[in-house]
Amino acid sequence: MKVHHFQALVIGALCLGAAVLAAESYNQHQQLAELQTAARNAPAAPSPSLRRDIGELHTTLSTLSPQVAALKDAQHQHTSAQATLGQQLDELAASVRILQAVPPGPSSADLTTLAQRMSAAEAALEKLSTAHKVPAASASPASPVSDQSKAKAPQPPFTLRGIETRGTIRFVTALPAGTHALSTVHLLQPGDSLNGWQLRAIREGQAVFHVPGHGDRTLPIP
């Protein structure tokens, strides 16, 4: 708004100057016409003072004409500059609208929560890498199986690390055996499988997996 106000003031000043010069030029022409009329009505040989006045008036008119032309040229240049500035302002407004339409990125609270979860996962992996042995998972079959099947049931091909909740959905975090990298952690929900073991249910502190050929196995969740 300040730019447009300044431009309006400049244009007004130019127009006022042009009007003043035009009025002065008109007055000089009027005086010249009066002097010419007086000269025609005067005797054949005008007086020296009249000749001097006519000469001064011609000089003044010849001086004012370039000034009026220069003022018109300056006004034309300012009008062109104002049109260019208006186009730039329109382009800037369009860019602002495009930027406002871009969806916002994650908030600082989201980044802080993500950093805390990554720190917790790294601490858990560090603890796992320094442990002397992986604790054996207790077998609590949800469905009856034979004693022979229990004896031959394989050990879980992964280690459960905990439960993670996203909204209303709960996941079991599992780290495949022999890996320690954070990128290898899997999020499992009922129906998902990892290394042939299919997660059936998530209970309080327990996860039930179906092992092909051995029935269901219930593993504790740390």
Mean pLDDT of successive 10-residue stretches along the chain, which has 222 residues = 66 77 79 77 66 83 82 84 83 77 71 78 74 48 50 80 88 87 86 91 91 90 86
Q: What is the DSSP letter of 131?
A: -
Predicted local confidence at residue 150, as pLDDT: 52
Q: pTM for the full model?
A: 0.33
Contacts of 161 (CB under 8 A, 6+ apart): 121, 124, 128, 173, 174, 175, 185, 222
What are the structural domain ranges in the chain?
2-101, 122-220
> What pLDDT, on the 0 to 100 scale, is given for residue 105?
64
Task: Please give the biggest Cα pair distance in the chain.
Answer: 149
Separation between Cα atoms, residue 30 and residue 38, nearest integer Å: 12
pLDDT, position 43: 58
